[in-house]
């Protein structure tokens, strides 16, 4: 809205509320898992917009669970400390020094997000996957695409072995909004850096979430001409990976979305976190925004 535009009339506000009511009723009491990342985390206005969206969802009876990343902030800190950053198949190679930075940055971001949600009128509680041994992890090894019989060691990066939702369930029952940093714990107490999209997807499966919403820095999944794709199926996704349309950081995001859809999450969406109130537009409107991932 520009500065000269008149404020919305009472009739417009009433119409907007009337349009949202069916979705409020449909999703009342349902869990919505949101992966929060990208520009939505770096722009102050979008940060506040996101916090208000999450609080509103809670106020109307939904149960939002936030899983946050921190890629741009981690990258910035690694550069300041002159620590080399490398990605393989969309995963950050994580040695001891990198893991220290990841933990430090995610801890600070987690507190910031909790503060924003609380300032917006919510009751947020910050967690990592280590709390209550919520996210059990094991070391991730990646297939070597040059040598099919070899595996690549990418350091202290974890894949999810299991998730215990007890802490999340207790917080939801108490009216709190969980905010989860994607750090997992191994069977011997070791710490693992886990891709936030994977944590969000697996958490949505375990919580039997109604929706998984992944905020990113694009309008959704785009074809090679930059057109938005939606209603993607496993076969269609395989074709997009094979022809190189999907690569890099989009690979774990797509894998997480597809696994969640196949595992019973009712709907999975990749949406543009740069759009003001993107979360509400996806959940409370007929059109929604971004890319819908289908299980078949």
- pLDDT attached to residue 39: 64
Number of structural domains (the chain) is 1
**Does residue 217 lie within any of the structural domains?**
yes
Residue 3 counted as domain residue: no
Burial of 116 (0-12, 13-18, 19+ CB in 10 A): buried
Query: What confidence score (pLDDT) does residue 213 get?
Result: 94
Q: Check residue 17 and give its pLDDT.
A: 62
CATH at 210: 3.40.1160.10
Cα(51)–Cα(116) distance, rounded to whole angstroms? 6
| SS3 readout for the chain | CCCCCCCCCHHHHHHHHHHHHHHHHHHCCCEEEEEECHHHHCCHHHHHHHHHHHHHHHHCCCEEEEEECCHHHHHHHHHHCCCCCCEECCEECECHHHHHHHHHHHHHHHHHHHHHHHHCCCCEEEEECCHHHCEEEEEEEEECCCCCCCEEEEEEEEEEEEECCHHHHHHHHCCCEEEEECEEECCCCCEEECCHHHHHHHHHHHCCCCEEEEEECCCCEECCCCCEECCECHHHHHHHHHCCCCCCCHHHHHHHHHHHHHCCCCEEEEEECCCCCHHHHHHHCCCCCCEEECCC
Is 17 within a domain? no
Is there a domain that residue 130 lies in? Answer: yes
Residue 14 placed within a domain: no
Give me the domain span that covers residue 227. 27-293
6: in domain: no
Per-residue pLDDT tens listing for the chain (296 residues): 344 444 544 444 444 667 888 888 889 999 999 999 866 788 888 999 999 999 999 999 999 999 999 988 999 999 999 999 899 888 899 999 999 999 999 999 999 999 999 999 999 999 999 999 999 999 999 888 788 788 999 999 999 999 999 999 999 999 999 999 999 999 999 999 999 999 999 999 999 999 999 998 888 888 888 888 888 887 788 888 888 888 777 777 888 888 888 888 888 898 888 888 889 988 988 777 788 887 77
Query: Nearest to residue 199, comparing CAs of 98, 104, 69?
Result: 69
């Amino acid at each position: 809205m520009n500065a000269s535009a008149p404020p919305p009339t009472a009739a417009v506000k009433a119409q907007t509320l009337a349009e949202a009511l069916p979705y409020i009723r449909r999703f009342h009491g349902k869990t919505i898992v949101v992966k929060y990342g990208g520009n939505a985390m770096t722009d102050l206005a979008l940060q506040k917009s996101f916090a208000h969206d999450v609080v509103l969802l809670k106020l109307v009876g939904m149960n939002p669970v936030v899983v946050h990343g921190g890629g741009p902030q981690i990258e910035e800190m690694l550069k300041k400390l002159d620590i080399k950053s490398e990605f393989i198949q969309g995963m950050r190679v994580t040695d001891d020094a990198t893991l220290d930075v990841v933990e430090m940055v995610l801890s600070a971001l987690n507190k910031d997000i909790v503060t924003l949600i609380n300032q917006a009128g919510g009751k947020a509680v910050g967690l990592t996957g280590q709390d209550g041994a919520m996210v059990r992890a094991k070391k991730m090894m990646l297939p070597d695409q040059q040598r099919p019989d070899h595996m690549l060691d990418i350091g202290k990066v974890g894949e999810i072995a299991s998730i215990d939702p007890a802490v999340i369930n207790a917080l939801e029952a108490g009216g709190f909004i969980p905010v989860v940093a994607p750090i997992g714990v191994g069977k011997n107490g070791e710490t693992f850096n886990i891709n936030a999209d994977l944590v969000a997807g697996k958490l949505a499966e375990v919580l039997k979430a109604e929706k998984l919403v992944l905020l990113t820095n694009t309008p959704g999944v785009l074809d090679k001409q930059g057109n938005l794709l939606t209603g993607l199926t496993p076969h269609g996704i395989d074709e997009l990976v094979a022809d190189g349309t999907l690569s890099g950081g989009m690979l774990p995001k797509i894998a997480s979305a597809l696994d969640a859809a196949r595992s019973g999450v009712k709907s999975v969406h990749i949406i543009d976190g740069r759009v003001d109130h993107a979360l509400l537009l996806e959940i409370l409107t007929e059109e929604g925004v971004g890319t819908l991932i289908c299980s078949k």
